[in-house]
Each structure stands twice: as structure tokens, then as C-alpha cells.
Structure 1
Amino acid sequence: MSNARGMGAGGAEPAKPVRLRDALRQARIEAADRTGVVVDLRDAEVARLEILNEALDPLFAQIPDQVDLFDRGISQGDTPRLWIDVVAHVLMGRDKRMYRFVQDTRHGRVVLAESHDAAVVVNAVTDYVARRMIERERAMAATPLPEQERSREKGTEDGQEKPRRGRFWAFAFGFIAGVVALFGLALVAALRSP
């Protein structure tokens, strides 16, 4: 059998010289094909994240307006993400079909849920939202009310106000006593020196 490119009827046929321009054109075509595939994959990721985002609408509709912990939205970039809050988001797995619900922590990224099924991720996000709201309630209960803070700033406790003038006079008396002591030490030092 003879190879049409490399062999002729009588032996080895010299290969055609490859022109750089043709090689560059071919490389550009291949790069465009790869870029097109990457764009198509990214569009598919965004579409899947939009489907999940719509599935989360009923959950976020139930969150009271005064709770401002969550900032849901899809960010487009090299890796599209559906953000739940500032530390948790959903992205697509390596196969571009698996949802990965992750949370960024001080110790790295933690996978909270991973599934091909959007309903499983919706349940995981629902649990996460509920835990975050409980954490918020506890933090709000541990934080003193503004009236309590103002009374502490005034120096009141249990309705009894401590006089501020007493603090001022104690400072003034201490300052004057210090000046007199320094003056006395300077006078003693002056009398001892010849």
C-alpha cells in the first residue's frame, strides 16, 4: 500500500514545505473551536445555575425583609457562581452537570452539598439559610439594645447615674498633687546642691 502524502509511485516524494501563515491560520481555527466550546460550556453552567436560582425563589420569598444576611445572585466570570451570601455559593462541578454548594471558611472551602439533582441542593441551601437565621437571632439576642448602650455610656447602671463631676475633680486633684510633688522634689534637690 502506498501513502498518498509521503510516497509516490517511484519512491519517496518530498513533503511540501509548510508555510507559517497556513500553520498560524490552522492554529487560530483550532483555538476558536476550543473557545467556542468553552463559551458553550460556560453558557450551559449559567443556564443550570439560573434554573437553580429560580428553584430557590420560594425559599427567599419567605425570608423577612429585615433580614439582610443574604445577597443572592449569579456572578459571571471564569467560573460562574450562584451566590447565596458572602461566604456560600453554588458552582458547577467538573462535569458541568453536578451542583456543588460550598462555603468559604477560615480553614478553606467546605462542600456542604453536591448532587446532580437541583432539589437536593435546594434542600441543602434551605438548611443553610435556616442555620444562618438562627445564628443571626442569637447574635441579636446577645447584643445589648441601644437604650442599654446609651445608659452605659452615661455611666448609669440600674437607673443610678454616677456623677461625671466627681471624675473630673478626682483627675484635677491628682494632677495638682502631682505638680506639687514635682515642685517639692525640685525644691529639695535645689537646696541640697552646693
Structure 2
Amino acid sequence: MNDTSGRSGTTSNVRNLTDAIRKVRVAESERTDVVVELREAERARLDMLADELRTVFAEVPEGDEQFVFQISGGSQPRFWIDMTSMVLMGRDRRTYRFVKDTRLGRTVILETADLDDMADCITQYVAERIIERERALEADWLADRILRQDEAPAKADRRSALLRKTHENVEAAPPRSRVHPGWIVSAFLGGLLVGVAALLAYAWVHVG
């Protein structure tokens, strides 16, 4: 009887373990379904926010590539506005959190459950970033213009110094002797006469 009771106890333990494993799997499945549902709910709310801002995104000036305007997946969906700012949902899955990463850490720009308030805040943020970019481009253009204006007098001064040095070198050079053409003709005729006289003298000595 002892052996029978021992086998019965073992059978009971196996049956209970099987039931426990089944219950754990069911619980995990339910938790997974809940996580998926919550993730889909977060994504749906972010999609609603993106739809509210669609006209704003369309008005961004062409060539301004600082904005992203994309919803990423993962364990927690994020609506990226640019490379450092995003919108994600709070723990209650209903509150929008607009955050920005800075050198000092993450800053919360706005946290609200109101869709319109969040859309207005993001619109204001986009406008500010566009103005900042325009000012930066204007500053770069102005700095380049000032640099060119500063370089122009310097180039003129260098050109004047070069011309002045060249003029001084010309004046310092020794004057080249100039021979009048008349002297050249006279010397030629004199040499010719001397040659003729030499020939006559030679003929007179030998012939005479």
C-alpha cells in the first residue's frame, strides 16, 4: 500500500506541474497581448498627432532638412520631430510627452493629454527652428562678406607695395650707356679710310 500511495503522489505532482506550466503560458500570452495592444494604442495616438501636423510639415521650406517627422517602432513608439526632439506617450498611455535631448540631458518641453495643445506646441517649435536656421545662414553670409571686405584693402596694399618696390628697383639700376648713331658712322668711315691708306702704301712699296 505504501508503494501505491507513493505512485499516486508522483502522478498527482506531475499533473499539477503540467497545469502550472499551462497556466504560466496562458498568463504570458495574455501579458503579450496586453503589451501589443498598448503599443498599438500608443502608435494610434501618435498617428493622430502626425495627422494634425501634416499641413505644418508640408509648409516647411524646401531644402530645410533638419526635420524628420517620422514615427519609429520598437518597444515604445516615438514620433521624431528632428534628430534631438521627439514625442512619446506617458505611462498612462494617454499623455503626450514632447522631449528634447540636450548637452545637459533630456528636457521636457510639454506634457499634456490634449492633442490640440501638443500640436500647437510642436508647430511653434518648428517655426522657431526655421527662424534659427535662417539667422544662422544670414550670419554666415554676413561673416563671409565682412571677410572679403577686409581682404580687399589688404590685397590692394600688397599690390601697391609690389609696384612701389618694382619702381624703386628700376630707379636704383645703373643707367645704360647710350651711343649716338653719328659716332658709329664716323668710326666706320675712319676705319675704312685707314684701310684704304694701308692698301695704297703696300702697293706703292711693292710696285714702285
- After TM superposition, the score normalised by the length of structure 1 is 0.67
> For the residues of structure 2 that align with 1:97 and 1:77, how far apart are their CA atoms?
18
1:157 lines up with 2:151 in the alignment: yes
Structure 2 partner of 1:51 = 48
> For the residues of structure 2 that align with 1:99 and 1:113, how far apart are their CA atoms?
8
> For the residues of structure 1 that align with 2:50 and 2:154, how far apart are their CA atoms?
54
- What one-letter code is carried by the residue in structure 2 that aligns with 1:120? D
The runs of 4+ residues in structure 1 deviating greater than 4 Å are 145-152
> For the residues of structure 1 that align with 2:134 and 2:17, how far apart are their CA atoms?
68
Within the candidate set 4, 24, 28, 1:31 is matched to 28
Larger Rg: 2
> For the residues of structure 1 that align with 2:153 and 2:141, how far apart are their CA atoms?
16
Q: How does 1:3-18 map to 2 (within 5 A)?
A: 16-17=12-13
> For the residues of structure 2 that align with 1:101 and 1:133, how far apart are their CA atoms?
18
1:113 lines up with 2:110 in the alignment: yes
Q: Deviations over 1:52-104 (max 9, x none)?
A: 00100111111111211111100001110100000111001110011111111
Structure 1 partner of 2:121 = 124
- Could you tell me how far 1:40 is from its partner in structure 2? 0.2
> For the residues of structure 2 that align with 1:139 and 1:151, how far apart are their CA atoms?
19
Q: Pick closer, same or farther for the CA change 1:21–1:64 going to 2, 3 Å.
A: same
Q: Deviations over 1:135-184 (max 9, x none)?
A: 111211121479759969xxx81275358xx9xxxxxxxxxxxxxxxxxx
Q: How does 1:1-194 map to 2 (within 5 A)?
A: 16-17=12-13, 19-144=16-141, 157-158=151-152, 161=155
Please report the RMSD computed on the Cα atoms of aligned residues, expressed in angstroms: 2.6
> For the residues of structure 1 that align with 2:146 and 2:22, how far apart are their CA atoms?
72
> For the residues of structure 2 that align with 1:100 and 1:93, how far apart are their CA atoms?
6
> For the residues of structure 1 that align with 2:154 and 2:124, how far apart are their CA atoms?
46
Q: Pick closer, same or farther for the CA change 1:147–1:109 going to 2, 3 Å.
A: closer
Equivalenced residues, count? 147
- Could you tell me how far 1:22 is from its partner in structure 2? 2.5
Q: Matched residues, percent identical?
A: 44
- After TM superposition, the score normalised by the length of structure 2 is 0.63
Structure 2 regions of 5+ residues with no counterpart? 1-8, 163-208
Question: Helix, strand or coil for the counterpart of 1:34?
Answer: helix
- What one-letter code is carried by the residue in structure 1 that aligns with 2:48? I
Structure 1 regions of 5+ residues with no counterpart? 1-13, 167-194
Q: Which has the higher helix share?
A: 2
Q: Pick closer, same or farther for the CA change 1:19–1:97 going to 2, 3 Å.
A: same
